[in-house]
Amino acid sequence: MRWAVPEAEFMDPGTLGCQGCGGTLSMRLVLKELGDDAIAVLPACCWSIIDGPWPVHALNIPVFHTAFETAAVVATGIKAAKQIKGKDTTVVAWAGDGGTFDIGLQALSGAAERNEDIVFICYDNEAYMNTGIQRSSATPLGTWTTTTPDERPEPRPKKDIMGIMAAHRIPYAATATVAYPDDLSRKVRTALAAKGGMRFLHLLSACPPGWKMAADDAIEAMRRAVQTNVFPLYEVRDGREYKITHWPEAEVDVADYFSLQGRFAPLLADDALLNLVRNNVRERWWFLVERHQQSLRKASSPDGAHLH
Partner 1 sequence: MSTLNHVDDYPEIPVSLASTRTILKTGAWRSVRPVLAERSAPCSAACPAGVGIPAYLQDIKEGRPKEAFAALTSRNPFPRITGRVCPHFCEQACNLEEKTGRDSVSIRSIERWLGDETAHLPHPVPSRETGKQVAVVGSGPAGLAAAFYLRRSGHEVTVFDRRDLPGGMLRYGIPDYRLPTVIVDEELARLEAMGIEFRNGVALGSDLTLDDLEATYAAVFVATGAGRERTVGIEGESLLEPGLAFLEATGRGEVALPGDRCAVIGGGNTAMDVARVLRRLGAEVTVLYRRTVTEMPAIREEYEHAVADGVTFKWLTLPRAVKKQDGKLIVTVEDMWLGEPDESGRRRPMPTGVSRELRFHGVFSATGETADLTPFPDRLMSSDGWLSLAENGATTDPLVYAGGDLATGPATVIEAIVAGRRAARAIDHQLGLDRLWPEDNPIEVVGSAEVNPTYVPRHDRTADHVAEWAGPFAEESVTMTDAEVLYEIERCLSCGHCNACGTCFVFCPDGVITWEDGPVIDYEFCKGCGICVAECPGHAMILVNEREVSHV
H helix or E strand, kind and range, residue 102: none
Q: How far is the CB of 296 from partner 1 (least distance, A)?
A: 25
Does 25 bind partner 1 (CB under 8 A)? Our answer is yes
With respect to partner 1, which residue has the nearer C-beta, 130 or 137?
130
- Residue 97 in contact with residue 127, Cβ under 8 Å? yes
| Sites for partner 1 among residues 170-209 (CB under 8 A) | 178, 181, 208
Nearer to partner 1, 19 or 146 (CB): 19
What is the three-class DSSP state of 172? strand
Site for partner 1 contains 12 (CB under 8 A): yes
Q: How far is the CB of 13 from partner 1 (least distance, A)?
A: 4
Q: Which of 49, 214, 265, 307 binds partner 1 (CB under 8 A)?
A: 214
DSSP 40: E
**CB 136 → partner 1: shortest distance, Å?**
22
Q: Is 56 in the site for partner 1 (CB under 8 A)?
A: yes
Nearer to partner 1, 26 or 295 (CB): 26
Q: How far is the CB of 162 from partner 1 (least distance, A)?
A: 25
- Cβ-based neighbours of 144, under 8 Å, separated by 6 or more: 150, 153, 154, 212, 262, 263, 264, 265, 266
Using CB under 8 A as the criterion, what x/- string covers residues 227-246 for binding partner 1?
Answer: --------------------
By beta-carbon proximity to partner 1, the closer residue of 17 and 98 is: 17
Other C-beta atoms closer than 10 Å to the C-beta of 149 total 10
Q: Which amino acid is at 217?
A: D
* Contact predicate 195/90, CB 8 Å: yes
- Using CB under 8 A as the binding rule, whether residue 7 contacts partner 1 is answered as yes
Sign of CA dihedral 66, 38, 34, 13: negative
Q: Are 162 and 203 in contact (CB under 8 A)?
A: no
> Interface with partner 1 by CB under 8 A: which range of 6-14, 255-263, 264-272, 283-291?
6-14
User: What DSSP character marks residue 157?
Assistant: P
Are 19 and 209 spatial neighbours (Cβ–Cβ below 8 Å)? no
Site residues (vs partner 1, CB under 8 A): 1-3, 5, 7, 9, 11-17, 19-22, 24-25, 28-29, 51-58, 63, 178, 181, 208, 214-220, 223, 249
